[in-house]
Structure 1
Amino acid sequence: MTVRTIGIIGGGQLGRMLAIAAARLNFRTIILEPQADCPAAQVANGQIVAAYDDPAALAELAGRADVVTYEFENVPVSAAEALQRSVPVHPPAKALDVAQDRLTEKRFLNGCGIETARFHAVDSQADLEKALVDFGGKGVLKTRRMGYDGKGQRVFRSPGESPAGAYDALGGVPLILESFVPFEREVSIIAARSADGTVLCYDPAENVHRNGILHTSTLPARISDATAKTARESAGKLLAALGYVGVIGMEFFVMADGKLIANEIAPRVHNSGHWTEAACVVSQFEQHIRAVAGLVLGSSYRHSDCVMTNLIGDDILQVPAWLAKKDVLVHLYGKTESRPGRKMGHVTELKGPKTSSQG
């Protein structure tokens, strides 16, 4: 099948960057997004303004696109399944189903032989209290679905902290309690898989979060070669188990002995991989387009050390200063309104030639 037009569900900054990468490879893009003035529509060839699960809109998207992908993991699984009946969808609906529920995700990772934090399903206040006893009164309580950037969470830091009302405070929805992990740092790996099963991984990035939102990603990460190898192997196992095509982001906690504990996955291009557009010849965005369009994957080699910094909220005011620096790539997302916690863009500062794969 010859791919000429790629459909993208979601019109945020990730969809925008995918559309830019697609245009460089001579593909047309059509966006399905209910917000008419979304960032992706500014650079795409067309937009269907409708809800992600609107049957008529999905039928139109399937008719206008040769292949469909998505920029965020909360696309309705039913929408992806409906599209799959008439047009290829990459990554598959199965990846959405696994990633949208933290309990399903943890169980799936464990089934792939990938270690996670201990966890308990929490469907009532009684479940929560019982789970906290098992974890010594400590843990991170999260909504199983729809939480992101630190939202939908409650942290229990000491055995004496009362859990009273915590279940209802998070909406009385299905929750998961995860045990604390005494990690030294957080890393993530961006990996890609083509339809023929070829897997390529970028170097792991070391991540720092502020208020639950990614602040910086630094390359090389301060991990051993053995730890980096484990991250790559874990990504390969996951991609194979999902029958995945495209780019995925996988986050880990790094323990003192170098062991990795998987935190979460994102079946899409990932914020912690934005550095690839400055420090690699083939970015994660181009890699994803190559994969879903059936092209050969590009090199994942990193030529430079770097630090990617998110511009969040009023950080956008720092753009003139960033533009004045040498060896800095500035990427803004086309958003007209700055709000606290809103990602407005990112910058990647090159720190010189690559010194090592990990550090």
Structure 2
Amino acid sequence: MIQPGATIGIMGGGQLGRMLAVAAAQLGYRCHIYAPEAESIAADVSARFTSADWDDRAALTAFADDCAVITYEFENVPVEPLTAIPAEKLAPGTRALEVAQDRLLEKRFITELGGRPAPYAPVDSAADMAEAIRSIGAPGILKTRRDGYDGKGQWRIASADLAEELDLPETPLIYEGLVRFAGEFSVILARRADGEICFWESAQNTHVKGILAKSVLPAGPTIAEQVPVARKLAAEAAEKLGYVGVLTLEFFATDDGPVFNEMAPRVHNSGHWSTEGAVTSQFENHIRAICGLPLGDTATVGSSVEMRNLIGTSGEEALALLEDPQAHLHFYGKLDARPGRKMGHVTRIDA
């Protein structure tokens, strides 16, 4: 067990790191942020900040020496440089990053566990693209195997003709068939090193242009019926990875049961509602898990919860939301509002 007063390292300097640092402070811990950017909104609320490249081994070693445990708010931290950090300090371990960073490895991992992803095929050439269209059909989504989030690094392929006209980027890709679904949902769990595990209620998620727009609880009967199967898969994935911390798996609810979409080895946007909407938030339970503390109660507070992302919203516009006395505003402190950028979120709870 890591005692209060110790320093928790967080790799990545964005809003998830910011909310983790706030949760850690409430439990008596200090946080040290490591990120390549010169400025960090997570560092604004943390004790220390190291601005250095991901592959700066000297900086990583010094960072590790200052921290009792190190976690991530960003799953695309390069794995190889992390060998500069003692493996026992990393929570979760690097295996979770390796799987989640490559969409092809991720889908194969889930398939081996008995899960069902959307139909997919690796694409490394125009010939591969043509074969993927023949075997899976169109429309579909072409994605980079690595990086890309919130709709970035993705192309909708409406027909085989359009696929032939596409100038493929020179990077490994994966083609996925479109899934007919009744709703999208996330399974979010927290797991300790000893295998203790807990789940939050699954919200129904709505995306607009590839970006999560809102999460709503309760999710409705269609999703509720499919949550047990999805939870079983998520728990098996966490066990296989020896996972410690909060893990998120995203699913489509279909007529044939849940279809796996993506995995995130970190706290997740679709769990932001839990700060006010659950007895214990995903951020606090992540800190509890990586520090070896007992996990908190994840029961939902209230009869319904809605979390909306503030995308491209200015500070003035965000503060105006406080005219609603039931609005719980989280504004991330980003200075430049622009289209497609998550500036904050707002949560409302009905008793």
The bucket for the TM-score relative to the shorter chain is: over 0.9
- Give the corresponding residue for 2:144: 143
Q: Normalising by the residue count of structure 1, what TM-score does the alignment of the two structures yield?
A: 0.93
Shift of 1:188: 0.8
- Give the corresponding residue for 1:280: 278
- Give the corresponding residue for 2:295: 297
Conserved 8 A contact 2:318-2:331: no
Distance in 2 between the 1:139 and 1:45 partners?
Answer: 46
Conserved 8 A contact 2:203-2:217: yes
- What is the correspondence of 1:44-193 to structure 2 with a 5 Å cutoff? 44-85=46-87, 87-159=88-160, 161-166=161-166, 168-169=167-168, 171-193=169-191
Instruction: Call closer, same or farther: CA 1:116–1:315 in 2, change over 3 Å.
Output: farther
Conserved 8 A contact 1:125-1:165: no
Aligned AA for 1:250?
L
Distance in 1 between the 2:177 and 2:209 partners?
Answer: 20
Distance in 2 between the 1:253 and 1:127 partners?
Answer: 26
- Give the corresponding residue for 1:2: 2
Aligned length: 347
Secondary structure of the structure 1 residue equivalent to 2:306: strand
Instruction: Call closer, same or farther: CA 1:110–1:81 in 2, change over 3 Å.
Output: farther
Distance in 1 between the 2:154 and 2:42 partners?
Answer: 29
Shift of 1:165: 4.3
Superposed CA deviations along residues 56-112 of structure 1, whole A, max 9, x for unmatched, are 111011100011001011001113333134x51011100000000000000001111
Distance in 2 between the 1:2 and 1:222 partners?
Answer: 39
Aligned AA for 2:46?
A
Shift of 1:137: 3.4
Give the root-mean-square deviation of aligned CA atoms: 1.4
Identity of paired residues, percent? 47
Superposed CA deviations along residues 195-224 of structure 1, whole A, max 9, x for unmatched, are 110110000010111111100000111235
Distance in 2 between the 1:223 and 1:76 partners?
Answer: 40
Secondary structure of the structure 2 residue equivalent to 1:164: helix
Distance in 1 between the 2:7 and 2:164 partners?
Answer: 53
- Give the corresponding residue for 1:242: 241
Distance in 2 between the 1:148 and 1:155 partners?
Answer: 15
Shift of 1:321: 3.0
Secondary structure of the structure 2 residue equivalent to 1:294: coil
Secondary structure of the structure 1 residue equivalent to 2:221: coil
Distance in 2 between the 1:317 and 1:2 partners?
Answer: 40
Aligned AA for 1:205?
A
Conserved 8 A contact 1:9-1:52: no
Secondary structure of the structure 1 residue equivalent to 2:313: helix
Distance in 1 between the 2:2 and 2:126 partners?
Answer: 54
Conserved 8 A contact 1:81-1:93: no
Distance in 1 between the 2:316 and 2:123 partners?
Answer: 42
Aligned AA for 1:214?
L
Q: Which runs of 5+ in 2 are unaligned?
A: none
Answer yes or no: is 1:220 the counterpart of 2:218.
yes
Shift of 1:179: 1.3
Secondary structure of the structure 1 residue equivalent to 2:162: coil
Q: Which runs of 4+ in 1 moved over 3 A?
A: 223-226
- Give the corresponding residue for 1:357: none
Aligned AA for 1:2?
I
Secondary structure of the structure 2 residue equivalent to 1:177: strand
Superposed CA deviations along residues 305-353 of structure 1, whole A, max 9, x for unmatched, are 110000111364432332111222101111111111111110001123x
- Give the corresponding residue for 2:330: 331
Aligned AA for 2:229?
T
Q: Normalising by the residue count of structure 2, what TM-score does the alignment of the two structures yield?
A: 0.95
Distance in 2 between the 1:130 and 1:96 partners?
Answer: 29
Superposed CA deviations along residues 132-183 of structure 1, whole A, max 9, x for unmatched, are 0112333211110001111111112245x331242x44x2211101111111
User: After the TM superposition, which of the residue ranges 12-21 and 34-43 deviates more from structure 2?
Assistant: 34-43
User: After the TM superposition, which of the residue ranges 278-287 and 33-42 deviates more from structure 2?
Assistant: 33-42
Distance in 2 between the 1:136 and 1:231 partners?
Answer: 26
